[in-house]
Amino acid sequence: MNTHSDALQATIDALVQRGKGLLAADESGPTIAKRFKTVGVESTEENRRAWRSLLLGTPGLGEFVSGVILYEETLGQCADDGEPLSSLAARQGIVPGIKVDKGKISLAHAPGDEITQGLDGLAERLGRYKEQGARFAKWRAVYNISSTLPSPLAIEANAESLARYAAICQEAGLVPIVEPEVLMDGEHSIERCAQVTDAVLHEVFHALHRHSIVLEHMLLKPSMVVAGKEHVPVNVTEAASQTVTVLNRTVPPAVAGIFFLSGGQTPEEATAHLDAINRIGRRPWPLSFSYGRALQEPPLKAWRGQAANVSEAQRALLKRARLNAAAAQARYSTEDESTS
Ligand code: 13P
């Protein structure tokens, strides 16, 4: 029995709450710079601190968000009043977690495929993150999709890394979020996305079993089954149906919860998909959100780096969080978009 079993269960109970999801605010240096550039903000440490203080300080956010995924830098940052950002989150009832992978590189001998790195020294890093208040972790594996990608080698190698990461987390007393992301880039059909997602998840759970992961003490963060961005769009009900079919075929019921990534969907699309998914009956796990862009885009556009816009940006974040929380309970309607 894992000596951390009670702690892991307590974290799961805090994260998996009906009508709540996760805020992914764990963009790496290059990614946050890209997001800031869209609104003309320079990515300085001070601007990143100001932005993430704004997000976590949003009054009432804890009503709809049970956990936040932070980037390493943020764990060491404080709000204007000197309170560490992880405590600010915890005070709102939001469990702080941390992205622990070190990003993706090309997978050798597999042109077009990628592999996520960061396993070396992970156990030691987790010890430090825990002292700084983190209670869960996240590792993202990325799968490029085409008629030939991802290769079986990439599917296997990424599954193995995800499982090794998850084992190290559980041994350290942190709940692992396992994130296999099949990218939306490309002109592939929804059927091709379903085929790849099925193969990826099948291999991920095989590897998790090999590494004795306690499924009750982990969360899955998958991409939805959708058509490629350059393909003609598929309607929301069809995407929801294909997503649930693939998950039912590959994810054991013991998994504590499934929290989707938004992966480049618009905020409205991501909410509509989550709602449609939750309107489908046959599924054993809570299905909620762990969105980055789909939660942050509207507040980022409202903020534009100006202190005077903080309240408006916080209102925009709260609105998206509230609508996604409704979607997680199959209670969203597109008419809700016109509410403030
Ligand atoms: P998106 O919702 O923007 O895909 O971000 C989620 C995430 O954590 C990606 O690793």
SS3 sequence of 54-82: HHHCCCCHHHCEEEEEECHHHHCCECCCC
Question: Quick check: bond before 150 cis, omega within 30?
Answer: yes
Distance CA 259, CA 221 (A): 5
Count other C-beta atoms under 10 Å from residue 13's C-beta.
11
Distance CA 320, CA 265 (A): 14
For the chain, what is the radius of gyration of the CA atoms?
A: 19
- The DSSP result for 7-66, as a single string, is HHHHHHHHH--TT-EEEEE---HHHHHHHHHTTT----HHHHHHHHHHHHT-TTGGGTEE
Beta-bridged to residue 259, according to DSSP, are 288
Kind of pairing between the strands at 114-116 and 104-106: antiparallel
CB of 306 closer than 8 Å to CB of 39: no
**179 among known catalytic residues:** yes
Structural domain boundaries, residue 96: 5-338
Contacts of 286 (CB under 8 A, 6+ apart): 16, 18, 256, 257, 258, 328
Residue 168 tokens, joined: 């190290």
pLDDT at 282: 81
pLDDT at 80: 96
Q: Which of 102, 293, 300, 317 to mutate to test the pocket of ligand 1 (most atoms within 8 A of CB)?
A: 293
Q: Which atom of ligand 1 is nearest to the CA of 140?
A: 10
pLDDT at 1: 57
Query: Structural domain tally of the chain?
Result: 1
Tell me, rounded to whole angstroms, the distance of Cα 72 from its chain centroid.
16
Tens digit of pLDDT at every position of the chain (340 positions): 578 999 999 999 999 999 999 999 999 999 999 999 999 999 999 999 999 999 999 999 999 999 999 999 999 999 999 999 999 999 999 999 999 999 999 999 999 999 999 999 999 999 999 999 999 999 999 999 999 999 999 999 999 999 999 999 999 999 999 999 999 999 999 999 999 999 999 999 999 999 999 999 999 999 999 999 999 989 999 999 999 999 999 999 999 999 999 999 999 999 999 999 999 988 899 999 999 999 999 999 999 999 999 999 999 999 999 999 999 999 999 999 998 7
pLDDT at 338: 93
Distance 171 CA to ligand 1 centre (A): 25
Q: Which of 20, 99, 104, 221 is catalytic?
A: 221
| Longest Cα separation, the chain | 53
Q: Whole-model pTM? A: 0.98
Beta-bridged to residue 23, according to DSSP, are 68, 291
Q: Which atom of ligand 1 is nearest to the CA of 179?
A: 10
Q: Which of 179, 181, 203, 297 is catalytic?
A: 179
Distance 128 CA to ligand 1 centre (A): 24
Residue 219, domain CATH: 3.20.20.70
Count other C-beta atoms under 10 Å from residue 46's C-beta.
9
Q: Which of 291, 296, 320 to mutate to test the pocket of ligand 1 (most atoms within 8 A of CB)?
A: 291
Protein residue closest via CA to atom 8 of ligand 1: 24
pLDDT at 234: 93
Contacts of 126 (CB under 8 A, 6+ apart): 100, 137, 168, 169, 172, 174
Distance 3 CA to ligand 1 centre (A): 31
Protein residue closest via CA to atom 4 of ligand 1: 263
Distance CA 26, CA 47 (A): 15
pLDDT at 281: 82
pLDDT at 250: 98
Distance 59 CA to ligand 1 centre (A): 23
Distance 1 CA to ligand 1 centre (A): 33
Give the sign of the dihedral formed by CA 110, CA 111, CA 116, CA 118. Answer: positive
The set of protein residues with a Cβ atom below 6 angstroms from ligand 1 is 24, 26, 69, 140, 179, 261-263, 291-294
Distance CA 313, CA 297 (A): 10
